[in-house]
């Protein structure tokens, strides 16, 4: 499946989650969305958003001040 990447560096919550929500609407079921964020609160907000919306958080990583999330659209 195609991977879509969003560079959300510098955006504060709730904007990374809002952008992810919008991007997931445009991705086919089974497609992957990769978020690159710098706001430390995304570590809480993104997993919560994913679980509440029925998608799958398949990877979460941190590289220095960069938080990376890999989400698979499930519905």
Instruction: Give the CATH number of the domain where residue 26 resides.
Output: 3.30.110.40
Nearest 5°: phi and psi at 71? -115, 135
What is the tally of structural domains in the chain?
Answer: 1
Could you tell me whether strands 56-63 and 66-72 are parallel, antiparallel, or unpaired per DSSP bridges? Answer: antiparallel
* Candidates 13, 34, 57, 68; catalytic one: 13
The helix-helix angle for 15-25 and 42-53 (nearest 10°) equals 30
- Catalytic residue check, 13: yes
Burial tier of 6 (Cβ tally within 10 Å: 0-12, 13-18, 19+): middle
Residue where the block lists tokens 């979460």: 60
The model carries a pTM of: 0.95
Q: What is the pLDDT along the chain (75 residues), one digit of tens a residue?
A: 689 999 999 999 999 999 999 999 999 999 999 999 999 999 999 999 999 999 999 999 999 999 999 999 999
Domain that holds residue 68: 3-72
């Amino acid at each position: 499946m195609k991977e879509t990447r969003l560079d959300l560096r510098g955006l504060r919550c709730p904007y990374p989650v809002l952008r992810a929500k919008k991007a997931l609407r445009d991705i086919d079921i089974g497609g992957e969305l990769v978020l690159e964020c710098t706001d430390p609160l995304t570590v809480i907000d993104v997993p919560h958003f994913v679980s509440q919306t029925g998608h799958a958080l398949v990877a979460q990583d941190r590289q220095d001040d960069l938080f990376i999330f890999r989400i698979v659209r499930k519905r």
